[in-house]
């Protein structure tokens, strides 16, 4: 009876050990996620040329909330939800996010981001989310054959109300 228990537990111990080893290996290597700068391509200065005007892109504000009632620190800030459609060859021009944090969701097509933090273009496909905050400056181009549809949620500070650089 005891030998059966030992014989049964040996494969179980091996399976547990292999599972633990696999889990350890998975967490010890930095994964590359879709929409991230590829390994070894990070940059600390802007090294790319960049456009200053939009081309082939529509930018529709779907909703906006005045955050002023939340207190003095929020006075004049707007929480916006926008839909951008970037046609093939279209461009969202160079802009920065030091004062305007945003989350971008790609819902259709794909689009390439050219960032001050990466030496090469970063591909974003449907389902990818791009977090835009801090010292990030970048521009986007649709290098594909179909329109790219993006949803942007951002906080627009009062000093940018008349800034139409997207």
| CATH code: domain of residue 135 | 2.60.120.10
pLDDT per residue as tens digits for the range 41-83: 988 766 567 888 999 999 999 999 999 999 999 999 999 999 9
Q: By the 8 A CB rule, do 165 and 93 touch?
A: yes
Rounded Cα distance, 147 and 109, in Å: 6
The pair of three-digit structure tokens given for residue 164, joined into one six-digit string: 């139409």
- 20 with 71, same domain: the answer is no
- What is the pLDDT, as a whole number, of residue 162? 64
Residue 71 inside a domain? The answer is: yes
Per-residue pLDDT, averaged over 88-106, amounts to 92
Residue 41 inside a domain? The answer is: no
Residue 116 inside a domain? The answer is: yes
Residue 69 inside a domain? The answer is: yes
Residue 42 inside a domain? The answer is: no
- 68 with 128, same domain: the answer is yes
Count up the domains in the chain and report the number: 2
Residue 68 inside a domain? The answer is: yes
What is the secondary structure of 53-100 as a DSSP string?
A: S-EEEEEEEEEEEE-GGG-GGGTT-EEEEEEEEEEEEEEEEEEE-SS-
Residue 16 inside a domain? The answer is: yes
- What is the pLDDT, as a whole number, of residue 135? 85
- 82 with 129, same domain: the answer is yes
In the numeric block, the tokens 């292999």 are attached to: 18
159: confidence class by pLDDT, cuts 50, 70, 90: confident
- 24 with 60, same domain: the answer is no
pLDDT per residue as tens digits for the range 106-118: 999 999 999 888 8
User: 10 burial class (0-12, 13-18, 19+ CB within 10 angstroms)?
Assistant: exposed
Domain range for residue 9? Answer: 1-31
- What is the pLDDT, as a whole number, of residue 163? 56
22: confidence class by pLDDT, cuts 50, 70, 90: very low
- Cβ atoms within 10 A of the Cβ of 19, count? 10
37: confidence class by pLDDT, cuts 50, 70, 90: confident
Higher pLDDT, 20 or 90: 90
- 115 with 68, same domain: the answer is yes
The pair of three-digit structure tokens given for residue 120, joined into one six-digit string: 């090469």
Q: What b/e sequence results for 43-64 when a residue is b if at least 16 CB atoms lie within 10 Å of its CB, and e otherwise?
A: eeeeeeebeeebeebeeeeeee
Residue 124 inside a domain? The answer is: yes
HSE value, Cβ hemisphere, 13 Å, CA-based, for 110: 11
> 16-22: long-range contacts (C-beta < 8 A, 24 or more apart)?
none
User: Average per-residue pLDDT in the chain?
Assistant: 80
Higher pLDDT, 16 or 60: 60
- 76 with 146, same domain: the answer is yes
């Amino acid at each position: 009876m005891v030998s059966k228990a030992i014989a049964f537990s040996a494969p179980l111990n091996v399976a547990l050990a292999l599972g633990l080893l696999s889990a350890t290996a998975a967490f010890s290597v930095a994964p590359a996620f879709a929409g991230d700068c590829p390994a070894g391509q990070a940059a600390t200065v802007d090294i790319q040329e960049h456009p200053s005007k939009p081309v082939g892109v529509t930018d529709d504000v779907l909703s906006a909330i005045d955050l002023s009632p939340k207190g003095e620190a929020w006075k004049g800030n707007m929480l916006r939800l926008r839909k951008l459609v970037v046609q093939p060859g279209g461009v969202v021009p160079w802009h920065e996010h030091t004062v305007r944090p945003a989350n971008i969701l790609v819902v259709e097509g794909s689009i390439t981001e050219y960032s001050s933090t990466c030496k090469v273009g970063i591909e974003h496909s449907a389902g990818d989310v791009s977090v835009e905050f801090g010292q990030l400056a970048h521009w986007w181009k649709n290098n594909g054959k179909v329109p790219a549809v993006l949803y942007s949620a951002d906080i627009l500070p009062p000093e940018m109300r008349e800034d139409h650089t997207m």
